[in-house]
Amino acid sequence: MRAALGALASAGLITTAACGDSGNAASGAAAGSAAAASGAATAARDEPAETDWRYTLAPLPYAYDALEPVIDAETMQLHHGRHHQAYVNGLNAALEARPDLQGMALEEILARVSGLPVAFRNHGGGHWNHDFFWNSMTAPGTGGEPSEAFASAIDEAFGSLEAMKEAFNQAGGGQFGSGWAWLIVNDAGDLEVTATPNQDNPLMDVAEVQGTPILGNDVWEHAYYVQYRNRGGDYLAAWWDVVDWSVASERYASAVED
């Protein structure tokens, strides 16, 4: 799994330790517009600096209103600028007390999270999950289709793309309380749908089902409540209209080639 994650990070399909000056909502929207215009699939981020191990909030790879009408701009502003920022702040606070973990790749921290204070599970997971989530999406109608290899693997594992979506939506809708729905490549190299509570993810050694994430959807109410209220099922169904299948296909290719 570690080799696959390294390939994903090298390809810019996931982000790890974003270090340096913290971004803000205004710069995020401006940088997001530029990234969307250039077709960038991942959020801009600084490289880790030897003198500063702190994580920062990367700007979105698109404008706050880019996902409308599926996800409204107000939700994106609150979700990214406040909720995600809170996870970054919490992770940095936890690292203050653990110099031995400062500068370590976040994936490595998550892989050993069972032996660490719970703040790393909650805030480290929250930061990684949200970076992954933002980079999984694009404007409605621009997400393309799964690659031939990815589509074939979906058909083999689930029978069809629609059947995979249904299984994924059931996993998200069936998550009691807050959590995430995931499409992963499991340790056997097969596609599988799973769900995790709170800010857990399949990279963690505490996860019931472990693997390399390909897609993940946030089913915490803060991800949709402004627009959808208690209609979480409608949110899950609509979300597929903003999935970036080119990013998901590249993630899949990187995950299975190791």
Same domain, 52 and 157: no
Helix/strand number for the chain, H first, E second: 12, 3
**72 and 63 Cβ atoms separated by less than 8 Å:** no
Does any domain span residue 155? yes
Same domain, 120 and 162: no
Cα→Cα distances 243→16, 35, 70, Å: 21, 17, 11
**Partners of residue 192 on adjacent β-strands:** 184
Given this model, what pLDDT does residue 8 score? 56
**3-state SS class at 245:** helix
**254 and 4 Cβ atoms separated by less than 8 Å:** yes
Does any domain span residue 233? yes
**DSSP-derived pairing of the beta strands 191-197 and 211-218:** unpaired
**Partners of residue 96 on adjacent β-strands:** none
Does any domain span residue 141? no
Given this model, what pLDDT does residue 177 score? 86
State how many domains the chain has: 2
Given this model, what pLDDT does residue 52 score? 87
Same domain, 39 and 128: yes
Same domain, 116 and 173: no
Task: Identify the CATH number of the domain in which residue 204 sits.
Answer: 3.55.40.20
Cα→Cα distances 71→44, 50, 77, Å: 21, 38, 11
Query: How far is the C-alpha of 183 from the C-alpha of 245, rounded, in Å?
Result: 12
Q: Determine how many CB atoms are found less than 10 A away from the CB of residue 176.
A: 7
Instruction: Give this prediction's pTM.
Output: 0.82
Same domain, 98 and 206: no
Query: How far is the C-alpha of 187 from the C-alpha of 16, rounded, in Å?
Result: 21
The range of the structural domain enclosing residue 125 comes to 2-134
Structure tokens at 175: 């998550």
Mean pLDDT by 10 residues, the chain (258 residues): 54 47 37 36 38 91 98 97 98 97 97 98 98 98 98 98 98 93 97 98 97 96 90 94 98 93
Residues 6+ apart with CB under 8 A from 82: none
Structure tokens at 107: 């994936």
Structure tokens at 176: 């009691």
Same domain, 16 and 111: yes
